[in-house]
Amino acid sequence: MTLVVAALLGSAYVLGRSLVPDQSQRHATGATTNADGPHYADQPSGGEPTAVPSASGSASPQARPAEAGQDGTGRDAGDDKLFGAHATTGSPRLALTFDDGPDPRYTPQVLATLREFDVRATFCVVGENAQDHPDLIQAIVNDGHTLCNHSWHHDVGLGARSADAIRADLLRTNAAIRAAVPNAPIVWYRQPGGAWTYPVVSVARQLGMTPLHWSVDPSDWELPGAGKITATVLTQAEPGSVVLLHDAGGDRQGTVDALRRILPDLIARFQLEALPTDPT
């Protein structure tokens, strides 16, 4: 009798465990979540590009992330990889860009540091985060920074979807931004992961947004530490650079700490700008 009861209890335990979802499982949106908010798993990669599944499940060669150059920045990527997306400012000025926000922990720290050094930047915001934190979108605009559409939920595979699906995603993101700041211009679009395709570039342009890539990538999303982030940016920055940083999507304290080290040097060497709201 004892063995029978033990067996029944063991079976009930296994069944119960099978019904509990794995909290660490990656969501279909490309983000994992915890108490701190969404953590985006699909970040730029300096390695070999891999095909992104299309809506039908097949891999689309046009949906591969932009291939990084020898130095890992993407600056040697040919225009055929970027489909015409801007990778520089087109002037001697340097632009700092912050992706994946806004985030209630890190975005205010980034804004405070930029304010302290009187620097304007460009924030590529994710629609779901803009919807959740409209006060931070307002703070970004009130400080004179430029807004950039970064898709609804950081969908690296968005460029492999239909034009209608891409348009709906970008319009949904713009609507969330404009719910917070109705009159703020949104004239830039950055594809998550740098996974540019002709359709996503075409739709962005049809909606009045200029595709925005980058030329300096310290891979801060890999959490290399403030020292390495600082060294990479200061070594690779040059006139016209677009620097890719992140104020959300994971633990960004290293980026926040690096920013304070980076700004004095960049200010001494370059004129820093928020990307213009009339890029044409």
Which residues are the active-site residues? 99, 246
Strands 122-125 and 146-149: parallel
Query: What are the strands, taking DSSP E only, across 70-171?
Result: 94-99, 122-125, 146-149
Residue 271, number of CB atoms within 10 A of its CB? 12
What is the spatial distance between Cα 146 and Cα 150, in angstroms, rounded to a whole number? 13
Strand partners, 97: 122, 244
Structure tokens at 123: 């924030």
Q: Among residues 139, 164, 169, which one has the least CA distance to residue 152?
A: 169
3-state secondary structure 40-85: ECCCCCCCCCCCEECCCCCEEHHHCCCCCCCCCCCCCCCHHHHCCC
- Give, as one character, the DSSP assignment of residue 201: H
Burial of 230 (0-12, 13-18, 19+ CB in 10 A): buried
Structure tokens at 264: 């004095």
Phi-psi group of 192: left, alpha or beta (phi > 0 → left; psi -120 to 50 → alpha; rest → beta): beta
Distances (CA, A) of 20 to 16, 31, 101, 107: 7, 20, 30, 34
